[in-house]
Amino acid sequence: MVASFLATAAAQAQPLPGDFVFLRDIDPSILQDIRYASSNNFVGRRLSGYDAAECVVKRSVGLALKSVQAELAKQKLSLKMFDCYRPARASRDMVVWAQNGRETPAERRYNPTLPKKDLFRLGYIAERSQHSTGAALDLSLVDLAADNSAAFDPARTYADCTAPEAARAPEGSVDMGTGYDCSDVKSHTASRAVTPDQRRWRNMLVAAMTKQGFVNYSKEWWHFSMPGAGGQAYDFPIRRGSR
């Protein structure tokens, strides 16, 4: 019994590879809502490899995020992480989902005008993701002075991701004009279909991230990467305590 416990503890204590770190160890003030570790995502279940809801990044990326957070804190804002390092097996999980021939109403909330089999071809999902290198991130902004208490209810029927904020699934973040992971032209960072306030929030996020060397993906207001920080793709699972 003792030997089994020690073996389990040792396995959990294995260091992260390739200069990866837990973002909480760099800056615990950055909010996290790691969506692929839950059922609150476009697949509707936890993705393979997400054994814990933890943001894992390359150390240089984490330090840059810490600098972004310090600037945002002056305005009573915070980053909120939706996805960070993504095990390669999770991307393969997405491929299987896209090709299973089924489209449920809950799934259609995330791609209301596009068949899910076309999402890879159109650039909304990548079969080989930069996330697996530890250099790509999905995130939003949170107004710390606002009421962010509304929680996702899996039993409730929400409007699709392009609907007004009050009708969409709550995300506890500012209104960027669409929900996270919304595969639609309205999610394009420079979309003209959003309101002036939504445009202001998008511009603020892009400006804060760009200042620290991040580059936004034009089809997703939430997706940023750091050139040169990546390298090879990894497939280790995300587990608590595996520092």
Summarize pLDDT for 146-195 with one digit per residue, the tens. 999 999 999 999 999 999 999 999 999 999 999 999 999 999 999 999 99
- CB-CB contact of 42 with 114 (8 Å): no
Strand partners, 238: 50
- CB-CB contact of 50 with 82 (8 Å): no
How high is the pLDDT of residue 230?
79
Which residues, other chains included, contact 33 with Cβ-Cβ below 8 Å and sequence gap of 6+?
53, 80, 81, 82, 171, 172
- CB-CB contact of 130 with 226 (8 Å): no
- Over 70: is that where the pLDDT of 243 sits? no
How high is the pLDDT of residue 241?
58
How high is the pLDDT of residue 153?
95
How high is the pLDDT of residue 127?
78
Tokens 């972004």 appear where? Answer: 68
Which residues, other chains included, contact 70 with Cβ-Cβ below 8 Å and sequence gap of 6+?
none
Strand partners, 77: 143
- Over 60: is that where the pLDDT of 215 sits? yes
Question: To the nearest whole percent, how much of the chain has pLDDT over 90?
Answer: 79
Nearest residue to 39 via CA among 198, 154, 116, 118: 154
How high is the pLDDT of residue 78?
98
Torsion angle (degrees, nearest 10) of CA 44, 142, 233, 242: -90
Q: How far is CA 194 from CA 25, 104, 122, 140, 207, in A?
A: 36, 27, 21, 16, 18
How high is the pLDDT of residue 170?
97
Domain 11-225 has CATH 3.40.50.10140: no
- Over 70: is that where the pLDDT of 10 sits? no
- CB-CB contact of 32 with 23 (8 Å): yes
Name the more confident of 6 and 15: 15
Which residues, other chains included, contact 162 with Cβ-Cβ below 8 Å and sequence gap of 6+?
112, 178, 182, 184, 186
User: In the chain, what's the furthest Cα-to-Cα distance?
Assistant: 62
How do residues 57-103 score in pLDDT, each as one tens digit? 999 999 999 999 999 999 999 999 999 999 999 999 999 998 888 99
How do residues 33-63 score in pLDDT, each as one tens digit? 999 999 999 999 999 999 999 999 999 999 9
How high is the pLDDT of residue 76?
98
Name the more confident of 104 and 2: 104
Kindly report the average pLDDT of the chain as a whole number: 91
